[in-house]
Structures are given as structure tokens and as C-alpha cells.
Amino acid sequence: MKWLGVGLMILGMLFGVASSGETGNPGQYARTPEETGILLLRGLRIEGGTVHLTVATRGCTTKEDVVVQVVEKELESDCTPYYELTFLRETPDTCEGELREEFLVYDLEDDLHLELPCMLSVTNPVVCSPAKDEFPEETPREEDLTLREDLRDAAIWAVKAEIQRYQESEHPDKDAKISALRETLARLQNMPPEDYPLPSEEHPLGAPPTNFGVLLPPEIREVDVVSPPQRPGDLLEVVGMTRSGPFYHVAGIRGRDFSVFAPSSQYRLKLYLVYRREYFLGIPNYYVYIASWEER
């Protein structure tokens, strides 16, 4: 019914604003995906027999995580059913994805078992901002900052190692290479840790980077090694490595402590590829940061 679609939208806006002050203590609000309580919405649309919510998520928010409180109201001048809805986040979203928006759609009859036609209001506050599709800048988590700083420092170590390699070489373009590397080194040294990008997903084996130099963001690999490294610069003895590589030179390790390895043990290592070395025939050759390890 056309009247129902328009009427629900208007009443949803009017009564939603009027009722928002009745929701109680502001401490009850779920302002972030990790919090529980009355959802702070990023968007609300009531159309026909459906309610459309826009909520903040880190990737794990579904309708099953939200409880809908329904209060039936009475209007003296109208016998049409009037419902007041409040959407509460019952389960926190603890995924580690980037903060973004998720759309939840509720069917008034099928999901909420309401009688139509009806009038409707939603008590949840709606966040209004000039750029609705942008979230406020977040403060990076401490563990992310540590990883970013470690990756930046590993890249700096790699660039310094490459400068030394070219200084000791007979490469025909060594001066140009060294000059470019020094510019890269200066940029890295002036880069705040929070600006160093992290990879958004793991890249499958067999899809190596095609560019030489610092990899921004770095790429992730997991490898098994015959024996662990003992110091920066060591070439990892990767199981199955051939004369055609891939080759992994250690530029850093979490905690900066190589004594965590037992010398004669085999390990599975999680690597971040921070720099691709220029190597003959395009053979994959990298400087890497060791993020984690597991004894085999």
C-alpha cells in the first residue's frame, strides 16, 4: 500500500526522534561494534513492510547478533497497531577486520511478527555526519603499531643492506641505484610507524610480487625451514627451495631476539615480505620479517 510505505517512513522519523530520549543511560549504547547495548545506527530507512538498518561492523555482525525489543503502544485517535522498536546489540563483533558499514534488513511480518498495516517508531539514535560513508579515524591498536614499526625497521634494514651490496658491486648503474636507495631510505626513516601499511589479506603462493624494492604493503608467506636463522641477513633454508628460489633473507624478527630458536629444530615461519631484491632472471629473492614461528 502506498499510504503504508509513506506513513511508516514519516512516523518512523517522527516517533524515532521523539522516543530517543527515553532509552535511558547513555552507557547502555553500543557505540562501537565491540560494545553491547542500544545500537547507535549509521542509517535508518523504513519502507513498506521492512526496516533497513546501517550499523558499524568489523565483519562479524549479523541479524543473529541483534535483539529487537517490540513495545506495542496505543493511540487514542487511531485503532491502527502502533509499535515501538529498539535494536540492541547482544553479541559483540570481535573480528579483526577494518571498521565499515553493514546493512541489516528486517521484515516486519516474517522477522518481527508484527501485524500490518501498522504505525512504527524506532528509538535508536542515528549518527549524522557530513561524510556518512567515512568513519572517524581510529587510533591504531598497540599490537598493530608494534608490527608496523617492526616492518618499517625491517624495510630500513633491507634498504641499507642493498646500499652496501651495490657499493661492493661492479653494477654499471651502481651510482644511480645507490642514489635511489638513499632516497627510499630517507622516506622510510621519516615515516611514522602508524603510516606503514599492513597487508589486508594473504597472497597465495605462486603469485609473487612483480616489482622490485620495498613492498608496500608487505606480503605474507608461510614456509617450513630446515634450520632456523641465527642473525639478520641469514638466508632461510626453506624446505623444497631450489636453485631458482624463492630466496628469503632475514631483515627482522618479532621481539628482535633470535635466541627463541633451538638451533637444530625445524620450524614453520610466518613471513612478511618487505623488500624484493633485484636478481638475475627475475628469480624471487626477498628480505623478510619473521612475525611468528612454530616448532615442527
**Span 149-188, pLDDT tens digits:** 999 999 999 999 999 999 998 888 889 999 999 999 999 9
Nearby residues of 32 by Cβ (< 8 Å), 6 or more positions away: 56
Q: Report the C-alpha gap between 210 and 68 in whole angstroms.
A: 51
Report pLDDT for 134. 53
Give me the percent of the chain exceeding a pLDDT of 90. 49
Report pLDDT for 263. 83
Structure-model confidence comparison of residues 263 and 271, the more confident one: 271
Question: Looking at residues 101-105, what average pLDDT do you find?
Answer: 89
Report pLDDT for 150. 95
Structure confidence at residue 238 as a pLDDT band (50, 70, 90): very high
Structure-model confidence comparison of residues 75 and 43, the more confident one: 43
Sequence ranges of the domains in the chain: 2-122, 142-295
User: Do the beta carbons of residue 51 and residue 105 sit within 8 Å?
Assistant: yes
Which strand (E) or helix (H) includes residue 231?
none
Q: How many CB atoms lie within 10 A of CB 205?
A: 10
Instruction: Retrieve residue 7's grid coordinates.
Output: 506513513
Q: Is the pLDDT of residue 16 over 50?
A: no
Structure confidence at residue 206 as a pLDDT band (50, 70, 90): very low
Q: Report the C-alpha gap between 89 and 286 in whole angstroms.
A: 45
Report pLDDT for 278. 86
Q: Report the C-alpha gap between 165 and 160 in whole angstroms.
A: 9
Report pLDDT for 1. 33
Least confident of 149-158, 200-209, 241-250, 285-294: 200-209
User: Do the beta carbons of residue 257 and residue 232 sit within 8 Å?
Assistant: no
- Average model confidence (pLDDT) across the chain: 82
Report pLDDT for 280. 73
Q: Is the pLDDT of residue 118 over 60?
A: yes
